[in-house]
Amino acid sequence: MTNVTLQNIIESQLTSFLNKYSFTLSSFSSRRVVYTNGRTTINFDMGPGDSTPSISLTDIAHSKTYPLLNIMTFLAPSHHYPKENERPEDPTELIIFSVNNTQALLSTYCDNMLRGDFSQVHDNPAYESHLSTLRQYTQFVFSLPNNHPIHDKFWSLDFTWIDDVKKLLD
């Protein structure tokens, strides 16, 4: 990112969203921004080399963090995620695009979690089974040649890779 920080992008794009759920800035650095409302924490992390932030939700009552990608593949497995060719190429525009997409996902699928109710995932055997399956499928993808179509889908965040692996393994 150039002179625009992750925090600036989030706050310029998500002010009304953050206010709706009473989120306030908890901590920040150049690559990590954390908001909390006393029940839920939203973490935006930009790892080294990441082009978009990884988002996770923390259930404060149970001190448990849930990566948004895991939540989404569980709650909305058929949701269409923008493919690489549907995303902006400019690094700052890509982050803005990602943050706006995240807001839509959180509002649509995680409203209850944003308000502190994590019952859809907390101690849910179906969610735990889903995570176990994702770990197995991910290991399978890592064993594929780099030029395999499933490998390409996995790294471009095309979540149809999950169905493709399931078909191959069944």
Helices 91-109 and 68-75: crossing angle, nearest 10°? 50
Spell out a b/e string for 7-25, using b for 16 or more CB atoms within 10 Å of the CB, else e.
Answer: bebbbebbeebbeebebee
pLDDT digits (tens, 9 = 90+) for 109-141: 999 999 999 999 998 999 999 999 999 999 999
Four-point Cα dihedral 86, 89, 90, 94, nearest 10: 40
**Strand pairing class (64-67; 24-28):** unpaired
Task: Please tell me the pTM assigned to this model.
Answer: 0.85
| Rounded CA separation 164/136 (Å) | 13
Question: 45 CB contacts (<8 Å, ≥6 apart)?
Answer: 31, 32, 53, 54, 55, 56
pLDDT digits (tens, 9 = 90+) for 81-106: 766 677 778 878 888 888 888 898 99
